[in-house]
């Protein structure tokens, strides 16, 4: 299958590790150019050499970062064709136990950065394609994750309306819902338990495919969704979760 990514340019956020980095590597392998955005400058320096990427060491929560990333793409590569935007997950909390300040911080770190990136990308190219990394909490609540359960469905509906707005110009928007993926973050969380191997095994037993996902598996799906091969998919949410989501 020809994905039609050769020469295309994408902004990828949270790109120093995990799902963002895996997607960036898949895009480059298919002939695309990438602008990597993350906070860890020392990691980005190495990735710039590995992937031939432009890099921006910045926090996506900074209101200026999305536009700076798009401007860098235009300066370095002369175009921007789309983006994969991933933001940090909000902290755990109950509905009633989460304070106004915590809700506000979660909105500022999860919702607004995604919206600002959409403005910057589609402002530069109305026919761009843009993927938003959400969570299965966009469709089903996760225990003790009230901020995520409150914000992700809102972003999912935002994606749906965004697809309506940019579609007439040829633009596309979609969401990806990863389940449990074996990222560095997950490895760290398991390491905090009394028995990391047992904790992971217990989680895997809850997944129909009986395994955590690998970042590369997510990256391949994201790469396909950003490609010309998925050119008739817009406004959709795609689960990359090994079958864990219990809704349709």
The CATH number of whichever domain residue 102 belongs to comes to 3.40.50.720
pLDDT at 140: 95
pLDDT at 154 over 90: yes
Whether 18 maps to a domain, the answer reads yes
Domain holding 83, by residue range, is 9-180+215-237
Q: Is 122 left (phi over 0), alpha (psi -120 to 50) or beta?
A: alpha
Whether 71 maps to a domain, the answer reads yes
Whether 201 maps to a domain, the answer reads no
Closest to 86 measured CA to CA, from 155, 7, 164 = 155
Whether 2 maps to a domain, the answer reads no
Whether 191 maps to a domain, the answer reads no
| CA 36/CA 55 separation, integer angstroms | 5
pLDDT at 90: 87
Which secondary structure element, helix H or strand E, spans residue 127, and what is its range?
A: none
Whether 23 maps to a domain, the answer reads yes
Average pLDDT, the chain: 96
Angle, alpha carbons 128-131-137 (nearest 5°) = 155
Q: Rg (Cα) of the chain, in Å, rounded?
A: 17
pLDDT in tens, 11-55: 999 999 999 999 999 999 999 999 999 999 999 999 999 999 999
Whether 159 maps to a domain, the answer reads yes
Number of folded domains that form the chain: 1
Q: What mean pLDDT comes out for the span 77-103?
A: 94
pLDDT in tens, 202-221: 999 999 999 999 999 999 99
Whether 193 maps to a domain, the answer reads no
pLDDT in tens, 98-122: 999 999 999 999 999 999 999 999 9
């Amino acid at each position: 299958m020809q994905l039609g990514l050769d020469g295309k340019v994408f902004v990828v956020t949270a790109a120093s590790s995990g799902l963002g980095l895996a997607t960036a590597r898949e895009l480059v392998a298919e002939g695309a150019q990438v602008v990597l955005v993350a906070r860890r400058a020392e990691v980005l320096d190495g990735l710039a050499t590995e992937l031939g990427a432009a890099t921006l060491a910045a926090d996506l929560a900074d209101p200026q970062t999305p536009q700076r990333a798009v401007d860098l793409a235009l300066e370095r590569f002369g175009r921007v064709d789309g983006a994969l935007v991933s933001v940090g997950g909000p902290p755990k909390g109950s509905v009633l136990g989460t304070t106004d300040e915590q809700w506000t911080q979660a909105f500022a770190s999860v919702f607004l950065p995604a919206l600002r990136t959409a403005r910057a990308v589609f402002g530069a190219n109305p026919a761009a394609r843009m993927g938003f990394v959400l969570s299965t909490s966009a469709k089903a609540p996760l225990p003790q994750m009230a901020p995520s359960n409150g914000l992700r469905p809102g972003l999912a509906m935002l994606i749906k309306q965004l697809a309506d707005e940019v579609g007439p110009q040829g633009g596309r928007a979609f969401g990806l819902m990863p389940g449990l993926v074996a990222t560095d973050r997950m490895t760290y969380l398991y390491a905090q338990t009394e028995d990391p191997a047992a904790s992971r095994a217990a989680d895997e037993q809850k997944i129909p495919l009986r395994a955590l996902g690998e970042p590369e598996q997510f990256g391949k799906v994201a790469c396909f969704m950003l490609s010309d091969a998925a050119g008739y998919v817009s406004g959709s949410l795609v689960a990359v979760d090994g079958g864990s989501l219990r809704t349709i």
